[in-house]
Amino acid sequence: MRIVGLISGTSYDGIDAAAAELSLAGDEVRLQPLGSFSLPYPPAVRAALVSAMPPAATSAEALCRLDTEIGQAFADVAARAVEELAGGRADLVVSHGQTLYHWVSGREVLGTLQIGQPAWIAERTGLPVLADLRARDVAAGGQGAPLVSLFDVLLLGADSSDVRAALNLGGISNLTVMGGGREPVAFDVGPANALIDAAVSHFTAGADTYDRDGARAVRGRVDETLLGRLLAEPFYALAAPKSTGKELFSPAYLLAALADGSRVELDDVAATLTALTAQTVAAACREHEVATVVAAGGGTANPTLMAMLRAAMPAITVSTIDEFGIPSEAKEAYAFALIGLLTVHGLPGTVPSCTGATRAAVLGSLLPGAAGFPPSPAVARAPRRLRIEAAGS
């Protein structure tokens, strides 16, 4: 099947798209990347999205408008991805949409809301669309996150003798840990880029929205008092599986941490928040006795963050998923394309030990395209590994 995957993550700066040729052969999934790109949200849409994010108050009218406008933005990206990446032909679009709220109480997730009405995608492309991917896992008692954990386990191998971790550095950092004779486990670690972005936006009054190439952090000095205050956050002490988002690690959270009256400079705050990401990830990796880390996500493009991460865990080998043939910034879009293949075949898209669900669930709600639903051939068994194939192989 030729599938287009779409997602806008917790940084909500734009929409990532990836197209892949996927097939099932025995107990193996084969994924041939066809290409990927990322497009920013229209400025007015992003501004409306930012203004609706917790802890801001909003209205049913604003949510309806956002659901429509984000759905239309995803439809535009889907149409372009089908034409430019998939050669004008695809069988399915998988849309994660935009998470607006992830309802967490302690270690329990009570609900999750992704917006971006998928009907706009189906109408624009004429293709069937799989959407609302997280809710079924939450209904089965899971965190609904990180849903990339199945992709990680299939790619890196749950049966490896050494303990491996797949790390995603988006707005929030998350880990999938596997191997060493243990059941896989996955969890959100804490903020990756979320608080860094919030600091840059706040101190520059929105003129900049992120620390490009980690330039501010590398110039700055880590404020140990501020870092200690941030590391005292109770979320870090919770056992896995666990999930979080900007409902907790919001701009208001950052401003509260800075409200002790001390004079701080942006470069120092950026350095401190980058150190926070590196130290929380390193602590989680040490706790789970990880030997190797394969990183992905926008944070891998920040050399200051990656240098701090390697310095914080010198005994752990750190590489990126690019070495497997998947661009770091496109991993999640490819992971959701994989989930689409599994759902169409009636196969689960989760690892219960990773999300904490009572069972592995088939994910998503499927909308028909112009020609109806995609064919759903019966498959006897779920895959046990993922092979990334080069184009033309």
- At residue 289 the predicted structure's pLDDT band, cuts being 50, 70 and 90, is very high
- pLDDT at position 77 is 98
67 in Cβ contact with 75 (< 8 Å): no
Write out pLDDT tens, residues 362-384: 999 999 999 999 887 777 688 99
| Residue 221: Cβ-neighbour burial (10 angstroms; 0-12, 13-18, 19+) | exposed
Residue 392 above 70 pLDDT?
A: no
Name which CATH class applies to 151-324: alpha beta
pLDDT of residue 380: 63
pLDDT at 312 over 90: yes
Rounded mean pLDDT of the chain?
94
Q: What is the pLDDT of residues 122-176, one digit of tens each?
A: 999 999 999 999 999 999 999 999 999 999 999 999 888 999 999 999 999 999 9
- The average pLDDT across 233-262 equals 91
Instruction: Encode pLDDT of 332-367 as tens digits.
Output: 999 999 999 999 999 999 999 999 999 999 999 999
Mean pLDDT (whole number) for 229-255:
93
Q: Tokens standing for 179? A: 């191997």
- pTM beyond cutoff 0.75: yes
Condensed to tens digits (0 to 9), the pLDDT of residues 36-69 reads 999 999 999 999 998 898 888 899 999 999 999 9
Q: Is residue 12 scored above 90 in pLDDT? A: no
Instruction: Lowest mean pLDDT of 45-54, 84-93, 210-219, 332-341, name the range.
Output: 45-54
Share of the chain above pLDDT 70, in %: 98
Mean pLDDT across the stretch 87-107? 94
pLDDT of residue 261: 66
Single out the residue of 143, 168, 188, 193 nearest to residue 332, CA to CA.
Answer: 168
Same fold for the domain at 2-146+328-388 and the one at 151-324?
yes
Domain ranges of the chain: 2-146+328-388, 151-324
What is residue 164's predicted lDDT score, i.e. its pLDDT?
Answer: 97
Closest by Cα among 248, 238, 254, 226 to 287: 238
Name the pLDDT band for 393 (thresholds 50, 70, 90).
low
Residue 132's nearest CA partner among 336, 354, 334 is 336
Segment 168-197, tens digit of pLDDT: 999 999 999 999 999 999 999 999 999 999
Structurally, what CATH architecture does the domain formed by 2-146+328-388 represent? 2-Layer Sandwich (3.30)
